[in-house]
Amino acid sequence: MKKFMVVLGLTAAVALLAVIPGALGGSQATPGVTSTGIKIGTTLPLSGTAALYSRIGTGMKAWFSYVNARKSSVDHKRGVYGRQITLNIYDDGYQEANTVQQTRRAVEQDGVFAMIGGLGTENQLAVRDYLNQKKVPQLYVSTGFAGFSDVKNYPWTIGWQPDYVQEGILLGKYVKANLPGAKVAVLYQNDDFGKEELSGFQKGAGSAAVVASRGYTRGGGAPAVQPLIPQLKASGADTLLIVATPTESITALAVAYKIGWKPARIVSSTGATDTFMALAKQSAGSPDAVEGVVTAQYLKDPVNPKYANDPQIKLYEHVMDKYAPSFPNPRDDGLFIYGMAKADTFVQALYRAGKNPTRQSLMNAVTHLTIKKDGWLLPGAKLVTTPKSAFPLRYQTLSRYTNGHFTEFGNLVRTR
């Protein structure tokens, strides 16, 4: 147990003691910051068709609880420089209007220091202008929309995961190299997220590879997707690309199997975790519904036997056991580890923001953050941000679902 209490997370303690941007910043008038605590917020769908994404919040809260309880090897204090981190989670139901309302509540009524990990491309676009006008950090949004890299016009906003264009290109190149002559049918969420990943895929595979596409209304759930799969099958396609959120991805895979369609299946990372595959398998009544699904991956998969003895995965399991005991199963949901990894990135930035952080010193730290050995990422990957690059994670690889878990294959690719 003692060994867990000295693990900081992403980087060695010595790196945190280096000279860092914003380290001398400070103001007793900074909203959300007191001598004993830091209050931050996030908007997530705790309800509605995208509610599976609420597990991102579970992962973030669990990690912050761990940080608040352990004594850091950096400053020998609990929390960050003795301040306890409190995360307020606001339910927006994956509806933009609710995101706007809840974000205003977080900033104007609850006085949060920053917003972190808010989910959804359209949702976060809906509050980007507001947060930048208020100069409230909009950190590590839970979307790979490339538009969040516009640091020139939106200096208070930063992404986190690899962007959808680059993920689409990676998946498209896979098809071009491994499925020559493939006739691809595409199911995509008809918004900026879906259109952007589809555009990247067409760049990688070639626009001629796509023989049919159907867009569904975001948040439409299973009813929006069910009638589209037979239409895509009728196109004569032998490959199915699914660019969707969990419920719609699960439904598409299950329906395709039930109607006797057996295309090669490629699913965007937004709809491809071990848990989502298990749910699709359960819905279809056969493991064949998901066996062989290909996706893109940038974090370690806790189910992959390759990482059974990995120190960071061991720490992940410990944190889940202690701080998220109501989730005994499935521990294999990548959304939990996604939330923890994102929370840890924030903690690293917060240390670098100084002992008396301000919103400006936090942004200075966020935009000058380099972690060469990030325990959450795939071996060989590193986390890097600069004032001109707003996506900290830029390494990913391909992964295939076989025998109940995803297994990486191919080279680790730097996408930016």
Q: Using one digit for the tens of pLDDT, what is the confidence trace for 74-92?
A: 889 999 999 999 999 999 9
Q: Please say if the pLDDT value at position 372 is more than 60.
A: yes
Residue owning tokens 């990690």: 63
**Are 307 and 377 in a shared domain?**
yes
CA atoms within 13 A on the CB side of 79: 15
CATH number assigned to the domain comprising residue 272: 3.40.50.2300
Average model confidence (pLDDT) across the chain:
92
**In the prediction, which pLDDT does 4 show?**
41
> Of the ranges 21-35, 172-186, 219-233, 402-416, which one carries the lowest mean pLDDT score?
21-35
**In the prediction, which pLDDT does 88 show?**
98
**Are 157 and 169 in a shared domain?**
no
Whether 173 is in a domain gets the answer yes
> Of the ranges 247-251, 269-273, 316-320, 326-330, which one carries the lowest mean pLDDT score?
326-330
The closest of 374, 401, 375 to 385, measured between CA atoms, is 374
Whether 411 is in a domain gets the answer no
Give the structural domain span for 340. 2-162+301-395
- Rounded to two decimals, the pTM is 0.91
Residues 6+ apart with CB under 8 A from 256: 229, 233, 240, 262, 263, 265, 289
Whether 185 is in a domain gets the answer yes
d(CA 348, CA 343): 9
> Of the ranges 21-30, 119-128, 157-166, 350-359, which one carries the lowest mean pLDDT score?
21-30
Tally of domains in the chain: 2
Whether 92 is in a domain gets the answer yes
d(CA 291, CA 94): 30
Last residue of a domain, one of 279, 297, 315: 297
**Are 284 and 306 in a shared domain?**
no
Last residue of a domain, one of 258, 279, 297: 297
**Are 287 and 311 in a shared domain?**
no
| pLDDT, tens digit, 9 for 90 and up, residues 185-225 | 999 999 999 999 999 999 999 989 999 999 999 989 999 99
Confidence of residue 329 (pLDDT cuts 50, 70, 90): low
Beta bridge partners of 282: none
**Are 68 and 136 in a shared domain?**
yes
Query: Is 326 or 109 the better-scoring residue by pLDDT?
Result: 109
Q: Which amino acid is at 399?
A: S
Beta bridge partners of 127: none
**Are 151 and 9 in a shared domain?**
yes
d(CA 290, CA 264): 10
Beta bridge partners of 398: 296, 409
Percent of the chain with pLDDT over 90: 85
- The mean pLDDT of 150-179, rounded to a whole number, is 96
**Within a 10 A sphere around the Cβ of 66, how many other Cβ atoms?**
24
**Are 293 and 311 in a shared domain?**
no
| pLDDT, tens digit, 9 for 90 and up, residues 182-193 | 999 999 999 999
| pLDDT, tens digit, 9 for 90 and up, residues 93-149 | 999 999 999 999 999 999 999 999 999 999 999 999 999 999 999 999 999 999 898
**In the prediction, which pLDDT does 331 show?**
66
**In the prediction, which pLDDT does 73 show?**
87
| pLDDT, tens digit, 9 for 90 and up, residues 290-304 | 999 999 999 999 989
**Are 315 and 284 in a shared domain?**
no
Beta bridge partners of 371: 383
Query: Is 329 or 370 the better-scoring residue by pLDDT?
Result: 370
Whether 53 is in a domain gets the answer yes
Residues 6+ apart with CB under 8 A from 80: 38, 67, 72, 347, 350, 351
Q: Please say if the pLDDT value at position 22 is more than 70.
A: no
- The mean pLDDT of 26-36, rounded to a whole number, is 81
**Are 35 and 156 in a shared domain?**
yes
**Are 158 and 168 in a shared domain?**
no
> Of the ranges 120-129, 217-226, 355-364, 382-391, which one carries the lowest mean pLDDT score?
382-391
Determine the 3-state secondary structure of 267 from DSSP. strand
d(CA 154, CA 373): 29
**Are 321 and 292 in a shared domain?**
no
**Are 153 and 200 in a shared domain?**
no
Whether 123 is in a domain gets the answer yes
The closest of 171, 398, 407, 404 to 277, measured between CA atoms, is 404
Query: Is 29 or 300 the better-scoring residue by pLDDT?
Result: 300
**In the prediction, which pLDDT does 353 show?**
97
Whether 326 is in a domain gets the answer yes
Q: Where are the alpha helices (DSSP H) in 144-242?
A: 164-178, 192-205, 221-225, 228-234
**In the prediction, which pLDDT does 29 show?**
81
- The mean pLDDT of 279-298, rounded to a whole number, is 97
- The mean pLDDT of 55-63, rounded to a whole number, is 96
Whether 226 is in a domain gets the answer yes
φ, ψ for residue 311, nearest 5 deg: -60, -40
Query: Is 351 or 4 the better-scoring residue by pLDDT?
Result: 351
